[in-house]
Structure 1
Amino acid sequence: MEPFQIPSSSMRPGLVVGDFILVNKFAYGIRVPVLNNVIVPVGKVGRGDVVVFNYPPNPKVNYIKRVIGVAGDVVEYRNKRLTINGKAVPDEKDGTYDYLEQGMAMIHNDQFKEVMDGKSYKVLNIPDAPVVALGQVADFPSRDQCQYDDNGFVCKVPAGHYFMLGDNRDNSLDGRYWGFVNDRLMVGKAFLIWMNFSALSRIGTTIR
């Protein structure tokens, strides 16, 4: 296990700024140091898992997002609704969620409950915000596997890679902007909040 701290709001409402989390680095297999190839398989990365990985444009930086697609999946996010391989991910409205961003601006969101491969979790979106800021989409590897328009995007996940999104869908720098995560960049599966000095009630919360 290894501890990490949440630095941004991209995974709200499940994870908030200041959460210290535990990550199981063996959840997806025992890996060779440096190369990070799996030598002893233990478990597979699954859709809906919350994972820590090395940020593809700068592997020295750790990111945390939710796995939305695995190799071969066709991921489509259009008009704020998610489909995987042509099948809509079940979601239902679950009230609203407001939070103060960097102590300056109150952000109002609609909250939804999504269910993916038996995993239930909550996501946020701002109704009037664009699905993707097209001007911020990078020219990432396998970019030709994605198509973008004003209403959203569709991507086919290459072999040996994953597609990630933040749960705070309109406030997350994620796979729609920088592409796919190679399996060699995986660090582990997040599973527990062990400390938040500003919100002690969050201690011991399981990460869904």
Structure 2
Amino acid sequence: MEIAIIKYNAGNVASVMYALDRIGQKYQLTDDQEEIKKADKVIFPGVGEASTAMAYLKEKGLDEVIKGLKQPVLATCIGMQLLCKHSEEGNTDCIGVFDVEVKKFISKDLKIPHVGWNSIVKRGENPLMKGLKEEEFVYFVHSFYAPVNQYTTAVCEYEQPFSAMLHKDNFYAAQFHAEISGKAGEQILKNFLAL
């Protein structure tokens, strides 16, 4: 099985590679359009800023490639936000797989960014949460969020409920970092690889 990790100017790729190494899964880190298209599965990770990340993806033609993928795709953190229609971060038009507007957290009481372990609760059917409890703890680092919407398959609460996971067709997305979320995150990765 060929796994492509999309290489672009957003960090945290190393932790995804280490997580795949731990479970014995080979992968290729690439920004080559053809390599990404022919992979059996694609991981779209990221830590970064929406407008600069989108600028890079557009420059490489990867925004259209990602939107047109037919194999299973797993996006995490900013990868999930970039699959949405628009982000308030840098007033950025994104890839648009999910018809969702990404919003900035605003809080008088809670620290922004939302950093650390928090629980997610299943909502509807989500094959990536197979074998997990109804409520699991995972690791978040983010200042922007996707509101709960028609694509939401797991919810987290921080100031207000927000989408911890999204799913549409072959696109699966997690706001948290599955690759550093302990046993729950490892199970989510294994479930994605088993799709």
Asked if Structure 1 and Structure 2 have the same fold, meaning a TM-score greater than 0.5 normalized by the shorter chain, the answer is: no
* TM-score with structure 1 setting the length: 0.29
Structure with the larger helix share: 2
Q: Per chain length, whose mean CA-contact separation is higher, i.e. which structure has more relative contact order (CA < 8 Å, sep 6+)?
A: 1
Structure with the larger strand share: 1
* TM-score with structure 2 setting the length: 0.30
